[in-house]
Amino acid sequence: MDDKRNIRSFASVDEILEYALSMEDESWRFYRDWAEKTDNEAISIVFREFAGEELKHKKLIEDVRAGVKILKPHHDVADLKLANHYIKPQPSASMSYQDALLIAIEREVAAIELYVHLMSICVEEAFRNVFDALVDEEKEHKLRLETIYDDTFMKED
């Protein structure tokens, strides 16, 4: 998910869902592509894992849209708030593991903001619930990344 510039208004629930699907697809491509571009195996592993998560989100939205699945949010996801305290790096083929984690954290923050926005404008409860549940999913991803970052780069000697 790129950033807040993607947040806009929509004419219908279907348009909201299409947009959410396109953002999940964009995130999947980002993680997949950078998993291949990087020279660092640890980054590649993390990014491949997150590419798989984005595909799961896309399937989830498609299932709810088709009436196959109903979601309920679960909340209570911790926030280490690391995204509030660092300079945002740019992706590069030779980026460090630290920079890759920071980029991934920032993408999860953008996804959270997007789903909060989509949840706030959606009138149908089933779709509000899917976006609320996706907020939780993205928060869990962010927490996982922040925990990896904290364990790897913020250890006290």
pTM of the model: 0.79
Region 132-156 average pLDDT: 86
Mean local confidence (pLDDT), 74-100:
76
- Assign 96 to helix, strand or coil: coil
Which residues lie below 8 Å from residue 86, measured CB to CB, with a gap of 6+?
Answer: 102
Q: Whose structure tokens read 């807040």?
A: 4
Q: Going by C-beta distance under 8 Å and a sequence separation of 6 or more, which residues neighbour residue 72?
A: 129, 133
Nearest CA among 27, 1, 4, 145 for reference residue 83: 145
Residue 74 pLDDT? 67
Domains of the chain, first to last? 12-153 (1.20.1260.10)
The CB density around residue 66, as the number of other CB atoms within 10 Å, is: 8
Q: What's the whole-number mean pLDDT along residues 47-71?
A: 86
pLDDT value at 90 more than 70: yes
Dump pLDDT digits (tens) for 108-132: 999 999 999 988 888 888 888 888 9
| Range 17-46 average pLDDT | 89
* C-alpha span between 21 and 7 (Å, rounded): 14
What pLDDT, on the 0 to 100 scale, is given for residue 69?
67
Q: What is the model's pLDDT at position 157?
A: 42
Report the candidate in 6, 10, 49 with the shortest Cα–Cα distance to residue 144.
Answer: 49
